[in-house]
Amino acid sequence: MIFGRSERGKPPVEPVTLKILVAGGFGVGKTTLVAAVSEIKPLRTEEYLTEAGRPVDDTTGVEGKNTTTVAMDFGRITLREDLVLYLFGTPGQERFWFMWDELSEGALGAVVLADTRRLEDCFAAVDYFERRSIPFLIAVNCFEGAARYPEADVRGALDLDDDVPVILCDARDRRSVRDVLVGVVQHAMDYGAERRETVTT
């Protein structure tokens, strides 16, 4: 066997795992953001689609190929030996949205990554998380050459609730992405506290 072994008789540490989703339009920098903080090279899992893709996928000429794949990138941050945070980049294409339900179940929160030049690309993600009461924030990826807009303008254009944080970030920068993630967890805490209050009063 090529694998190392944990010592016999010593039970392995069984970590608590949490996940944060990274959503946004195609090419907005989701994989870049995950790569900036992940301790592993973003891994890719693929799920095979058969029925779901049939009405949309033009398979003319490749009739033998009756499956298509949906890929999602994910990264891992080991915060402590017994506490691991996973980041999942959501598949961009809208027809893969059935995957989102599975990804978002039990998620701590979400980052909606936005590009001010194509703000409409993240409308769908904002709607999705709002409807499911998943705490999320908007992280505006500051691309070089793109005009900077004040937070209030972004908030207005996306018609966000007042309590949804808007953060400017650089998806390539580890510290910047770390601040975004801290923001998500902080928001999830506030959100959870608020909900408990509503339930008890």
Residue from 24, 29, 53, 74 binding other proteins (CB under 8 A)? 74
Nearest to 140 by CA among 160, 132, 128: 160
- Per CB under 8 A, does 59 bind other proteins? no
Residue from 56, 93, 98, 105 binding other proteins (CB under 8 A)? 105
Judged by CB under 8 A, which stretch of 122-130, 147-155, 158-166, 187-195 contacts other proteins? 187-195
The Cα 146–Cα 116 span in angstroms is 7
Nearest to 109 by CA among 125, 93, 94, 95: 125
**9 vs 55 by CB, closer to other proteins:** 9
The Cα 183–Cα 90 span in angstroms is 19
The Cα 137–Cα 121 span in angstroms is 15
> Which residues lie near other proteins (CB under 8 A)?
1, 3-6, 8-9, 12-19, 37, 43-48, 65, 67, 69, 74, 76-77, 79-80, 83-86, 88, 102-103, 105-109, 174, 178, 181-182, 185-186, 188-189, 192-193
